[in-house]
């Protein structure tokens, strides 16, 4: 049920978020935690303690019938195969629990869920009559300013006089031609047995926090790819310079990725390929590898949407903003599809249907919004041995990475990437083209006059076979000079040489016969040298790879150049068009690639020759192309009408559930709750931003959505963020970028990373009580230190189908540097399931781990660091205190325990006074009780510990009840400039009781009151 916005008067008391610290109790932190609060979803007992025994018994019967499943049930049933056969799994493989935490906790008829539903229905009924209308919308028009920055440099080279002797330019060209001829003659034909020259010494092993809330939360990826569509799904390309400098064969981690949805978590051990071509045959992965001959050949792949952004700058297409780097050339190892089809009766089928055109259909295992991904290609093409159509299981001599189709994908040399089906599970032959959604409505080039998909004309054109993208087409790209590259004008005046470089490719295995560049708008052209990879030649004339080209010019020529254009030619003397041709899908753009030089001046009066490519991928704005007047007008109309109501950060953060979901885009606040049911990408991409006050949402939305999505978005607008919230978003984006850059260069001996998940291996556990255990984990790199400072947390994660489920814990060891030995200990209470509730997710997972199994770790989380002698560093600002009041509850005791140990075991050097108020339900719930009591006995003059129980036994002699104002006044230090209060406990306890009591007493949330 959507909650109502708070009173407008709260805007006048809104804090300046740019000046306050990041540990304000109960507000989302940079670590995506709520400081001062333990996780509310793990201890369900408090919600059930008043329920009647009759209802418990009713649900007990359902449990006995197996109708309610807990996380322990799933863990028991699903084996971790990669521990037994690591050689057939990609490096960095992760175990994923094939269910959702949401299903276990809220998707079943637990008693706690029934009670919550009844409460919501009661509230809805009470509030139904009080709902009012919002105010009228106000007009606030902002004109989108255009800047036409095309350079108008015009210069022509003077013609040289005829000479009987070859000129220096002619001599250089002759040398280049002879060198190229020798290279082409030296090309060795590939026999399919070569190995990839790419060394496999680098395999991504860390999971980016960007992916933690998506179904791809289990896939290790690198930062070397530019994400085009935000967090999910992954569509990414390499930086052009890095891609080119990697060489002729692209490393797996640098190869472009195209995905329509979540990557399915498949296993070599049980994956099956179903084949039907007259007979129905099923193959396991080991069957394919053992029963058929494999070949290993280099093949170039390119998305048919490569270079789409150039078209989107003219007019928005239905596709997202690929730059020129959606390409890659790798070694693919697999079996020929023709041999597998022959085993299934394809030869006999072709004889039976002689004279008819037959099609091979393919289906991937990925579940998408419009069904599974399917497509088809002509059977005749597949059955031609010289077309090398493969069922590939390796990429560059290693198992396929998950993003590239593990464990099996289709490789169709010479065809567009849209036909290379990943996660292949079905192959079948028909007498007609595939008619699935993705085959008909994707990977098409329709005429320019088709501007939408809904008209009868559009439907007819999309179903016309001639519009389908099949064979790759002729294309070429300039890599050097790079986007934004600068050349000192002094070097130009000195007459230095410069080498223009790039790559070119073609479809159907046809050779790129010539590459040339123009420096004067196409009036004349310079011949470029071509270089193909080793073993790129198949069957004497087939080229499945790309080529690299280069030509040397004088820098003075570049200074006078109008532009740098490249074009290439095929064996039929066809070449690339001069200008782009827009189409609705934004496919197959292969116009001449143009780089423009300009003179720029920077500080210290330095002058440079700077180069601009047409566009930067995704949302980058550094290219010479600018949005067309039509696009600018559309954007202006969208910004013209915005409601006047404003919302603050703390108001927006309240709306973060599937039933009440607000998002922020371009400073506007939208209620996206109604979008959940029909969003093509599912709920996950929206929920990743629900209630989040950050700029990431804007970048992701703008990178992938078309005019229709913008129109639908306006139907959900509520208002705008306040200026303080807008300033906070800008500041956080800057801080986040700085921290991310800093963490990338952290010390190599530290295991934890703030923005990357790495693995830790479970070794053993020690029972401390009936439901509390001490768990020991070892770092994968044993020579590294954990790197956690006193007061900080580590985040423990486990993979589910829809997201990485994680909780924050504070290790009880190591606390001091000398305790660092490549391991760490956690003390965790297990909240077991019972008939009324499913139990704590993470605590049950930890309790079910067996030796050698792995969890994800990330950190450090938290910006509160205790440095000793009463000094804290909070958001990099040092604060000194003499007295510390710790108000802790349940599992929240562990961060306080770290601070206590650091002070009391300092050998008497740290004189800071400590008072602890530790709240629990029963005596058995008190974590670290023996350790805390030992410290209190040993250091009676420095620490005072008060335990308070809400459900004590008759023999309990300590405080009874709940933490309230009297308890805090009696057992805490009074507020002053030398006293600090630190909190960590259940949300209800901290937010409703402790925080208000401390503020009323005189503690200040910006000065001496913080949440761990």
Q: pLDDT, tens digit, for every residue of 131-160?
A: 444 443 333 333 333 333 333 434 343 444
pLDDT of res. 152 = 41
Go through 208-238 and write b for each residue having 16 or more CB atoms within 10 A of its CB, e for each that does not.
Answer: bbbbbbbbbbbbbbbeebbbbbbbbbbbbbb
Q: CA-CA distance, 415 to 536, in Å (whole number)?
A: 16
Q: List the helix and strand counts (H, then E) for the chain.
A: 28, 47
pLDDT at 130 over 70: no
Residue 560 to residues 170, 746, 773, 830, Cα–Cα distance (Å): 21, 45, 74, 73
pLDDT value, residue 743: 62
Q: With left for phi above 0 and alpha for psi between -120 and 50, is residue 48 left, alpha or beta?
A: alpha
Does 793 participate in catalysis according to the annotation? yes
Is residue 36 within 8 Å of residue 24, measured between CB atoms?
no
* Phi and psi angles of residue 860, each rounded to the nearest 5 degrees, phi first: -75, 145
Of 505, 428, 426, which Cα lies nearest the Cα of 471? 505
- At residue 438, the pLDDT reads 96
> Where is pLDDT greater, at 27 or 722?
722
Cβ atoms of 90 and 399 closer than 8 Å: yes
| pLDDT score of 271 | 95
Q: Give the pLDDT confidence score for residue 73 in this predicted structure.
A: 87
Contact 502, 476 (CB under 8 A): yes
Decide if 810 is catalytic. yes
Using alpha carbons, select from 43, 39, 47 the residue that is nearest to residue 985: 39
Tell me, yes or no, if 82 is annotated catalytic: no
Distance CA 828, CA 772 (A): 6
* Average pLDDT for 780-809: 91
Rounded to the nearest integer, the mean pLDDT of the chain is 87
Q: Which of 39, 404, 793, 799 is catalytic?
A: 793
Q: In this predicted structure, what is the pLDDT of residue 896?
A: 92
DSSP state of 13: G
> What is the structure's pLDDT at 581?
96
**pLDDT tens column, 912-942:** 999 999 999 999 899 989 999 999 999 999 9
Distance CA 498, CA 553 (A): 5
More confident residue, 626 or 170: 626
Integer Cα distance of 342 and 357 in angstroms: 17
Question: What is this structure's pTM?
Answer: 0.83
From the list 903, 913, 918, the residue with the least C-alpha distance to 984 is: 918
| CA count, 13 A, side-chain hemisphere, 916 | 33
Q: How much is the pLDDT for 201?
A: 73
Which range, of 105-119, 560-574, 887-901, 954-968, averages the lowest pLDDT? 105-119
Model confidence pLDDT, tens digit, residues 268-303: 999 999 999 999 999 999 999 999 999 999 999 999
Is the pLDDT at 662 greater than 90? The verdict is: yes
pLDDT of residue 981 exceeding 70, the answer is yes
Q: What is the pLDDT of residue 21?
A: 62
For position 835, what pLDDT does the model report?
A: 86
pLDDT band, residue 107 (cuts 50/70/90): confident
The span from the CA of 540 to the CA of 546, in Å, is 16
**Which pLDDT does position 326 carry in this prediction?**
98
Residue 680 burial (CB count, 10 A):
11
Per the rule left: phi > 0, alpha: psi between -120 and 50, beta: everything else, 454 is alpha
Q: How many residues does the chain have?
A: 1012
Residue 421 is given by DSSP the state -
| Distance of alpha carbon 69 from alpha carbon 103, whole angstroms | 9
Q: Answer whether 995's CB lies under 8 Å from 970's CB.
A: no
For residue 814, whether the previous peptide bond is cis, meaning omega lies within 30 degrees of 0, is: yes
Selecting among 375, 810, 830, 912, the annotated active-site residue is: 810
Q: Does residue 881 carry a pLDDT above 60?
A: yes
799 is catalytic: no
Q: Which range (25-39, 336-350, 868-882, 968-982) has the least confidence?
A: 25-39
H helix or E strand, kind and range, residue 829: strand 823-829
What is the reported pLDDT for 746? 55
Please, which pLDDT band fits residue 745 given cuts at 50, 70 and 90? low
Give percent above pLDDT 90 in the chain: 62
Query: Tell me, what's the pLDDT at 110?
Result: 87
Q: Which of 100-104, 200-204, 809-813 has the least mean pLDDT? A: 200-204
Residue 734 CB-density burial (10 A; 0-12 exposed, 13-18 middle, 19+ buried):
exposed
More confident residue, 119 or 828: 828
Distance CA 846, CA 773 (A): 10
DSSP-derived pairing of the beta strands 646-647 and 756-767? unpaired
Q: Smallest Cα–Cα separation from 967: which of 894, 895, 1002, 916? A: 916
Is pLDDT at 35 greater than 80 in this prediction?
no
Residue among 646, 740, 788, 661 at smallest CA distance from 30: 740
Q: Give the tens place of pLDDT for each residue, 71-90.
A: 898 888 888 888 888 888 89
What is the structure's pLDDT at 63? 55
419 vs 699: CA distance, rounded Å: 29
User: What is the spatial distance between Cα 916 and Cα 359, in angstroms, rounded to a whole number?
Assistant: 74
d(CA 898, CA 866): 9
pLDDT of amino acid 542:
95
734-743 own/partner pairs: CB under 8 Å, 24+ apart: 735/30, 736/30, 736/694, 739/30
The answer to whether the beta carbons of residues 320 and 234 sit under 8 Å apart is no
Residue 280 is inside which H or E element, if any?
Answer: strand 280-284
Mean pLDDT of 430-446: 96
Q: Which of 507-516, 643-652, 722-731, 742-751 has the lowest mean pLDDT?
A: 742-751
List the catalytic residue out of 505, 809, 831, 897: 809
The sign of the dihedral angle between the CA atoms of 966, 968, 969, 975 is: negative
pLDDT, position 147: 36
**Is pLDDT of 952 > 90?**
yes
Q: Residue 168 to residues 157, 163, 171, 175, 500: CA-CA distances in angstroms?
A: 16, 11, 5, 11, 18
pLDDT of residue 744: 57
pLDDT tens per residue, range 457-500: 999 999 999 999 999 999 999 999 999 999 998 888 777 899 99
Question: What distance in Å separates the CA atoms of residue 828 and residue 39, rounded to the nearest whole number?
Answer: 13
Kindly state the average pLDDT of the residues 316-335.
96
The answer, yes or no, to whether residue 710 has pLDDT greater than 90, is no
Burial 617-626 (b: 16+ CB within 10 A, else e): bbbeeebbbb
Which pLDDT tens digit goes with each residue over 641-657? 667 788 998 889 889 88
Alpha carbons 254 and 256: distance in angstroms, whole number: 6
15 phi-psi bin (left φ>0, alpha ψ -120 to 50, beta other): beta
Cβ(588)–Cβ(475) below 8 Å? no
What pLDDT does residue 224 have?
Answer: 94
Calpha distance 37→986 (Å, rounded): 5
Determine the Cα–Cα distance for residues 806 and 856; give it in Å rounded to an integer: 9
- Kindly report which listed range (239-248, 715-724, 974-983) carries the lowest average pLDDT score: 715-724
Residues 6+ apart with CB under 8 A from 952: 922, 923, 958, 960
993 DSSP 8-state letter: I
DSSP secondary structure code for residue 925 in this structure: G
Taking the C-alpha atoms of residue 831 and residue 771, their distance in angstroms, rounded to an integer, is 7
Contacts 24+ apart (CB under 8 A), 597-605: 597/151, 597/153, 597/481, 597/558, 597/559, 597/561, 597/563, 597/564, 598/151, 598/153, 599/489, 600/486
Distances (CA, A) of 880 to 23, 34, 296, 874, 978: 17, 24, 65, 11, 7
Gap between the terminal Cα atoms of the chain: 30
Alpha helices in 128-205 (DSSP H): 168-186
Residue 33, Cβ neighbours under 10 Å: how many?
20
Omega before residue 860 within 30° of 0, cis: yes
Tokens 């797996």, located at residue = 252
Whole-number Å distance between alpha carbons of 96 and 80: 9
**57: confidence class by pLDDT, cuts 50, 70, 90:** low
Pairing relation of β-strands 913-920 and 943-949?
Answer: parallel
Active-site residue, selected from the candidate residues 469, 615, 661, 984: 984
Q: In this predicted model, what pLDDT tens digit does every residue of 580-610 receive, in sequence order?
A: 999 999 999 999 999 999 999 887 778 999 9
Structure letter (DSSP) for residue 420: S
User: Cα(199)–Cα(196) distance, rounded to whole angstroms?
Assistant: 8
- Residue 992 carries which DSSP code? I
The pLDDT, as a whole number, for residue 46 is 40
Task: Report whether pLDDT(640) > 80.
Answer: no
* Res. 204: pLDDT tops 60: yes
Q: From edge to edge, which strands make up the β-sheet containing 1009-1011?
A: 959-960, 943-949, 913-920, 883-889, 979-984, 1009-1011
């Amino acid at each position: 049920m959507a909650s109502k916005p708070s009173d407008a008067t709260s805007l006048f008391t809104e804090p300046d978020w740019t000046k306050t610290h990041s540990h304000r109790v109960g507000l989302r932190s940079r670590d995506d935690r709520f400081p001062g609060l333990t996780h509310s979803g793990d201890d369900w007992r408090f919600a059930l303690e008043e329920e009647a025994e009759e209802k418990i018994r009713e649900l007990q019967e359902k449990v006995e019938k197996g109708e309610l499943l807990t996380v322990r049930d799933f863990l028991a049933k699903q084996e971790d195969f990669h521990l037994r056969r690591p050689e057939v799994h990609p490096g960095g493989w992760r175990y994923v629990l094939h269910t959702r935490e949401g299903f276990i906790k809220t998707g079943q008829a637990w008693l706690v869920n029934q009670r919550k539903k009844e409460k919501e229905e009661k509230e809805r009924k009470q509030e139904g009559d009080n709902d009012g209308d919002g105010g009228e919308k106000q007009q606030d028009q902002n004109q989108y300013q255009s800047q036409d920055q095309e350079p108008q440099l015009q210069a022509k080279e003077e013609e040289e006089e005829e000479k009987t002797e070859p000129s220096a330019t002619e001599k250089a060209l002759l040398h280049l031609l002879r060198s190229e001829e020798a290279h082409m003659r030296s090309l060795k034909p590939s026999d399919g047995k070569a190995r990839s020259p790419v060394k496999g010494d680098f395999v991504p092993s860390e999971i980016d926090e960007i992916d933690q809330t998506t179904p791809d939360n289990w896939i290790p990826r690198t930062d070397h790819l530019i994400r085009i569509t935000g967090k999910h799904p992954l569509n990414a390309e390499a930086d052009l310079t890095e891609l080119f400098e990697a060489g002729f064969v692209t490393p797996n981690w640098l190869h472009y990725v195209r995905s329509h949805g979540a990557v399915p978590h498949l296993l070599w051990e049980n994956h099956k390929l179903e084949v039907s071509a007259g007979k129905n045959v099923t193959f396991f992965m080991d069957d394919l590898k053992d029963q058929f001959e494999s070949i290993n050949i280099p093949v170039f792949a390119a998305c048919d949407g490569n270079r789409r952004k150039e078209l989107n700058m003219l007019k928005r297409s239905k596709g997202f903003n690929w730059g020129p780097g959606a390409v890659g050339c790798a070694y693919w190892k697999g079996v020929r599809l023709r041999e597998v089809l022959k085993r299934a009766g394809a030869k006999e089928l072709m004889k039976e249907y002689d004279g008819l055109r037959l099609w091979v259909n393919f289906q991937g295992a990925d579940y998408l919004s419009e069904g599974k991904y399917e497509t088809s290609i002509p059977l005749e093409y597949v059955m031609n041995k010289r077309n090398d159509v493969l069922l590939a299981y390796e990429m560059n001599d290693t198992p396929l990475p998950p993003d590239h189709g593990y464990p099996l994908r289709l490789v169709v040399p010479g065809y567009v990437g849209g036909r290379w089906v990943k996660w292949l599970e079905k192959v079948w032959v028909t007498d007609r083209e595939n008619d699935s959604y993705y085959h008909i409505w994707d990977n098409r080039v329709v005429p320019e006059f088709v501007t939408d998909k809904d008209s009868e004309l559009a439907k007819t054109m999309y179903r016309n076979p001639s519009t389908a993208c099949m064979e790759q087409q002729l294309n070429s790209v300039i890599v050097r000079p790079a986007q934004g590259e600068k050349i000192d004008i002094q070097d130009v005046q000195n007459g230095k040489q410069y080498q223009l470089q790039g790559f070119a490719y073609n479809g159907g295995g046809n050779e790129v016969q010539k590459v040339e560049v123009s420096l004067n708008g196409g009036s004349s052209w310079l011949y470029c040298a071509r270089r193909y990879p080793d073993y790129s030649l198949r069957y004497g004339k087939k080229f499945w790879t790309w080529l690299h080209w280069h030509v040397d010019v004088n820098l003075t020529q570049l200074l006078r150049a109008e532009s740098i254009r490249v074009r290439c030619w095929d064996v039929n003397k066809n070449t690339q068009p001069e200008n782009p041709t827009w189409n609705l899908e934004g496919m197959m753009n292969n116009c001449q690639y143009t780089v423009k030089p300009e003179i720029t001046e920077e500080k210290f009066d330095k002058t440079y020759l700077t180069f601009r490519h047409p566009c930067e991928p995704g949302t980058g704005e550094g290219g010479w192309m600018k949005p067309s007047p039509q696009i600018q007008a559309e954007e202006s109309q969208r910004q013209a009408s915005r409601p006047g109501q404003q919302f603050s950060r703390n108001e927006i953060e309240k709306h973060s559930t599937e039933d009440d979901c607000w998002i922020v885009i371009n400073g506007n606040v939208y209620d996206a709750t109604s979008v959940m049911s029909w969003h093509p990408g599912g709920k996950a991409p929206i929920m990743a931003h629900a209630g989040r006050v950050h700029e990431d949402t804007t970048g992701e939305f703008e990178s992938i959505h078309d005019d229709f999505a913008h129109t639908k978005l306006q139907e959900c607008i509520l208002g705008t963020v306040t200026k303080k919230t807008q300033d906070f978003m800008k500041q956080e984006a800057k801080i986040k970028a700085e921290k991310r850059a800093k963490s990338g260069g952290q010390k190599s001996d530290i295991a934890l990373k703030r923005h990357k998940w790495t693995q830790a291996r479970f070794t053993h556990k020690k029972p401390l009580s009936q439901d509390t255990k001490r768990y020991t984990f070892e770092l994968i790199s044993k020579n590294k230190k954990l790197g956690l400072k006193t007061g900080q947390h580590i985040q423990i994660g486990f993979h589910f189908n829809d997201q990485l489920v994680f909780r924050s814990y504070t290790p009880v060891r190591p606390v001091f540097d000398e305790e660092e030995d490549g391991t760490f200990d956690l003390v965790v209470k297990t909240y077991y399931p019972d008939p009324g509730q499913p139990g704590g997710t993470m605590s049950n997972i930890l309790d079910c781990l067996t030796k050698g199994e792995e969890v994800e770790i990330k950190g450090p989380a938290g910006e509160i660091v205790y440095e000793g002698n009463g000094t804290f560093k909070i958001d990099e600002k040092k604060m000194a205190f003499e007295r510390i009041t710790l108000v802790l509850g349940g599992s929240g005791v562990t961060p306080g325990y770290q601070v206590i140990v650091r002070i009391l075991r300092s050998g008497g050097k740290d004189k800071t006074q400590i008072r602890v108020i530790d709240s629990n339900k029963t005596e058995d719930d008190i974590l670290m009780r023996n350790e805390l009591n030992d410290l209190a006995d040993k250091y009676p003059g420095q620490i005072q510990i008060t335990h308070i129980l809400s459900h004590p036994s008759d023999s309990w002699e300590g405080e009874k009840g709940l933490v309230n104002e009297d308890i805090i006044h009696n057992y805490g230090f009074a507020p002053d400039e030398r006293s600090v209060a630190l909190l960590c406990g259940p949300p209800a306890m901290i937010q409703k009781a402790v925080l208000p009591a401390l503020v009323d007493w005189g503690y200040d949330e910006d000065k001496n009151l913080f949440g761990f």
